[in-house]
Amino acid sequence: MKILVCISSVPDTTSKINFTENNSKFDTNGIQYVINPHDEFGLTKAVMLKEKLHATVAVITVGESSVESVMRKTLAIGADNAIRINLNPKDSYSTAKEISNYVKDNPYDIIIAGKESSDYNGGAVPCIIAEILDIPFINSCNGLSMDGDNAELSREIDGGTEKLKIKTPFIIGGQKGLVEESELRIPNMRGIMTARTKPLEVIEPSEKTSLTESVSFKKPTPKGECKIISKDSISDLVNELHDVAKVI
Amino acid sequence: MSILVYAENWDGKFRKSTFEAISYAKKASAIFQTNVKTISIGLIDNTELERLGGGGADKVISYPNINKSNGKAIALILEKEAEDCRLIILSNTINAKIIAPRVSTKLMAGLITNVISHIDNAENICVKRQAFSSKAIETTKLKSNIGVLTIAPNAFEINNHSGNCQIEINEKEIDSDVIVLGKDVNKGKISLSEAEIVVSAGRGLKAAENWGMIEELADVLGAATACSKPVSDIGWRPHSEHVGQTGRAIAPNLYIAIGISGAIQHLAGVNSSKIMVAINTDPEAPFFKAANYGIIGDAFEVVPKLITEINNFKNN
> Using the beta-carbon criterion (under 8 Å), do B112 and A212 form an inter-chain contact?
yes
pLDDT bin (cut points 50, 70, 90) of residue A8 is very high
The partner residue sitting opposite A211, judged by closest CB among B108, B138, B294, is B108
User: What confidence tier does B181 reach under pLDDT thresholds 50, 70, 90?
Assistant: very high
CB contact under 8 A, A211 and B144: yes
pLDDT of residue B235: 93
Mean pLDDT, rounded, for A172-185: 95
Q: What is the pLDDT averaged over residues B16-44?
A: 97
- SS3 state of residue B248: strand
Query: How far out from the chain centre does Cα B27 lie?
Result: 19
pLDDT for res B69? 93
Rounded to a whole number of angstroms, the distance from the CA of B313 to the nearest CA of chain A is: 8
Q: What is the largest CA-CA distance in chain A?
A: 68
Quick check: B113 and A212 CB within 8 A?
no
Asked if residue B283 has a cis previous peptide bond (ω within 30° of 0), the answer is no
Instruction: Compute φ and ψ for A83, nearest 5 degrees.
Output: -125, 130
- Tens digits of residue pLDDT in A67-84: 999 999 999 999 999 999
Q: How many Cα atoms occupy the beta-carbon half-sphere of B301 within 13 Å?
A: 11
Coil, strand or helix at A226? coil
What is residue B187's predicted lDDT score, i.e. its pLDDT?
A: 72
Burial class (CB in 10 A: 0-12, 13-18, 19+), A163: middle
Q: What is the pLDDT of residue B133?
A: 87
- Average pLDDT (B192-201) is 93
Q: Do B239 and A128 touch (CB under 8 A)?
A: no
> How many Cβ contacts (< 8 angstroms) between chains A and B?
269
User: What band does A240 get if pLDDT is binned at 50, 70 and 90?
Assistant: very high
Pairing of strands A227-228, B293-296: parallel
- Closest alpha carbon within chain B to A161: B184
Does residue A221 surpass a pLDDT of 90?
A: no
3-state secondary structure of A37: helix
Is 90 exceeded by the pLDDT of residue B215? Answer: yes
Mean pLDDT of B184-202: 88
Distance CA B282, CA B296 (A): 7
Domains of chain A are 2-216 (3.40.50.620)
Instruction: Convert the pLDDT of each residue in A153-170 to its tens digit.
Output: 999 988 789 999 999 999
Of A129, A128, A117, A147, which Cα lies nearest the Cα of A38?
A117
Helix, strand, coil tally for chain A in percent (to 5): 30, 30, 40
pLDDT at B186 over 90: no
From residue B245, alpha-carbon distances to A16, B48, B178, B261, B262 in Å are: 16, 36, 28, 15, 12
Ramachandran angles phi, psi of A165, nearest 5°: -130, 135
Q: A219 contacts in B (CB within 8 Å)?
A: 135-137
Round to whole Å and give the CA distance between B210 and B213.
7
pLDDT band at B189 (very low <50, low <70, confident <90, very high): confident
Residue B316's pLDDT is: 86
3-state secondary structure A72-86: HHHHHHCCCEEEEEC
Contact B183 A230 (CB under 8 A): no
Helix axes A37-53 and A68-77, enclosed angle (nearest 10):
40
**B132-164 pLDDT tens trace:** 988 999 999 999 999 999 999 999 999 998 888
Is the dihedral angle over the CA atoms B180, B186, B188, B190 positive or is it negative? negative
Q: Tens digit of pLDDT for each residue in B99-137?
A: 999 999 999 999 999 999 999 999 999 999 999 988 999
Calculate helix-pair angle for B46-55, B16-32, nearest 10 degrees.
50
Mean pLDDT of B29-44: 96
* Minimum-distance CB partner of B309 among A118, A165, A234: A234
pLDDT of residue A222: 84
User: Are B139 and A215 inside 8 Å of each other by CB?
Assistant: yes
Residue A9 has pLDDT above 80, yes or no: yes
Shortest CA distance from A137: residue in chain B: B98
Q: Which of B114, B135, B253 is closest, CB to CB, to A17?
A: B135
Residue A3 has pLDDT above 90, yes or no: yes
pLDDT for the residue numbered B9: 96
Contact A13 B189 (CB under 8 A): no
Q: Which of B72, B137, B247 sits opposite A217 (nearest CB)?
A: B137
The answer to whether A181 faces chain B, any CB pair under 8 Å, is yes
The reported pTM is 0.95
Check: complex ipTM more than 0.90: yes
Q: What is the spatial distance between Cα B282 and Cα B203, in angstroms, rounded to a whole number?
A: 13
- Average pLDDT in the B289-299 region? 97
Q: Quickly state the pLDDT bin for B309 (edges 50, 70, 90).
A: very high
- Residue B183 to residue A132, Cβ atoms within 8 A: no
Q: Evaluate if residue B53 carries a pLDDT over 80.
A: yes
